[in-house]
Structure 1
């Protein structure tokens, strides 16, 4: 059996030309069919050119977006600079990944984003606060602002570390701490700015219309108004502190609290339980006196 390439072989060497078995069959396409095929190809090319021309004209006439035109801002907009550039949960506390999701939720909150863009707030680090470090028999600190916006700490967790506080309360605390990016003291200018930021956040919260944002994972026994007598949002803006930008690690943030060990945490939980029982007894005594 021969294989390609075949050598030129005269037909007469294979079969005599005068043999009755000799037959030649020619296959071809009619001229009309070829003309129809050419016409279809030209029509397809014409339609493709017209479509490309229409797309080019539409792109040319489309108005360019600007950062001040409203709507959703893209990453190329200047407003992307006004945000929390690093989110830092405390790795030595239970489920730091859940705290990270909470911090992301605050960073991406439509109201918070709108307020930060309006006031041009750019905060390098947003982190969580360890309740054990900021809980006393008299009060609980809800947030801290260090060096006018270098680092903002928020109290995300409950005192017993068994859950997370109400989202709306934490967001309101964040408004308070953002105002400390401008004013360190709790003076009239500070409170006016805090109230302004809170209103801007509520107004820009187009997802939920300013209503409670969660009924699922995050909770607190009492709301903001009921807790205000026992809690301190902060003690004005801090200058200095323990945070070193550029060399910050999660474990370094909580080294002081982590050194307390299991016994220190148990003592803190016991004090919190005693305080709850004392407050409950005082409330019952006042009711009985009435």
Structure 2
């Protein structure tokens, strides 16, 4: 099967160098056409294209990981962007993982274009990419380029800014019971939602680090 060239759907201002230059589903896995559709959606995602252009990311091949071949991995970046491999499928091959889960792994692997180890430099940039994706979608939905804090204090870190962007963008599915009380003020409820979102993002990112096959090259 020949690799599929990615067709640009971004703005005319986007630099064609900063993109996924081809996509390659694995033809030996079930339903490769659906895998190709998911990879194409990721490659043409306006928010992903926005951060790739902003940070000058170029990826040679966007492809998938076979669960049975590398069951412990969710993502892998080969040679700082030569290829990015993503786990698209469920363990039983009876479907695909949710789009937002896979896209978050993609942001993680894009960060490895710059930083190999999961150090503080990596964490800061990765958090920034996720924040920018969330802010881009929020601005696009609102039809505006202004991204206010809506009652939150100025963020002290990229992670806090990312969490604010998720909360303000409506991504409030936190898991578990709410910690808010009926006596809480609106400001206290907002802060508890923000704290819960930050905790969830930290847990998600730790899982991604544990299940990422990318590391800095040997010196």
TM superposition score normalised by structure 2: 0.62
Give the structure 2 partner of residue 134 of structure 1.
70
**1:202 equivalent in alignment to 2:138:** no
- Equivalenced residue count is 153
* Cα distance change on mapping 1:152 and 1:110 into 2, 3 Å: same
Please say if 1:174 is aligned against 2:123.
no
Which residue of 50, 58, 66 corresponds with 1:122?
A: 58
Is 1:184 aligned with 2:116? yes
TM-score (norm 1): 0.48
For the pair shown, the structure with the greater C-alpha radius of gyration is: 1
Give me the whole-angstrom Cα distance separating, in 2, the residues matched to 1:229 and 1:167.
17
C-alpha displacement of 1:195: 0.3
In the alignment, is the contact (CA less than 8 A) between 1:142 and 1:232 conserved in 2?
Answer: no
Q: CA separation in 2, counterparts of 1:239 and 1:88? A: 25
| 1:8-48 superposed Cα distances (whole Å, 9 cap, x missing partner) | xxxxxxxxxxxxxxxxxxxxxxxxxxxxxxxxxxxxxxxxx
Q: Does 1:233 align with 2:211?
A: yes
CA contact (8 A) 2:118 2:209 kept: no
Alpha-carbon shift at residue 81 of structure 1 (Å): 1.9
- 8 Å contact 1:86–1:125 — kept in the other structure? yes
Q: Secondary structure at the match of 1:177?
A: helix
**Displacement of 1:227:** 10
CA shift, 1:160, in A, is 0.2
Shift of 1:148: 0.5
Distance 1:105 1:196, change over 3 A: same
Quote the residue 2:11 is aligned against: 73
Partner SS state of residue 126, structure 1: strand
Identify if the C-alpha distance between structure 1 residues 82 and 230 changes in structure 2 by more than 3 Å, giving closer, same or farther: closer
Flag structure 1 segments of 5+ consecutive residues without an equivalent.
Answer: 1-71, 213-222, 241-290
- Please give the secondary structure, in 1, of the residue aligned with 2:35: helix
Q: Say whether residues 1:103 and 2:36 are aligned partners.
A: no
Question: Post-superposition shift, 1:232?
Answer: 3.0
Equivalence for 2:185: none
- Cα 1:201–1:121 shift into 2, 3 Å: same
Change (3 A) 1:141 1:207: farther
Cα distance change, pair 228–124 in 1 and its aligned pair in 2 (3 A): same
- Structure 2 unaligned spans of 5+: 1-9, 143-168, 173-199
Higher percent of residues as helix: 1
Mapped pair 1:89 → 2:89: no
Two-structure CA RMSD over aligned residues (Å) = 2.8
Name the structure 1 match of 2:95.
Answer: 163
Return closer, same or farther for 1:207/1:109 CA change in 2, 3 Å cut-off. farther
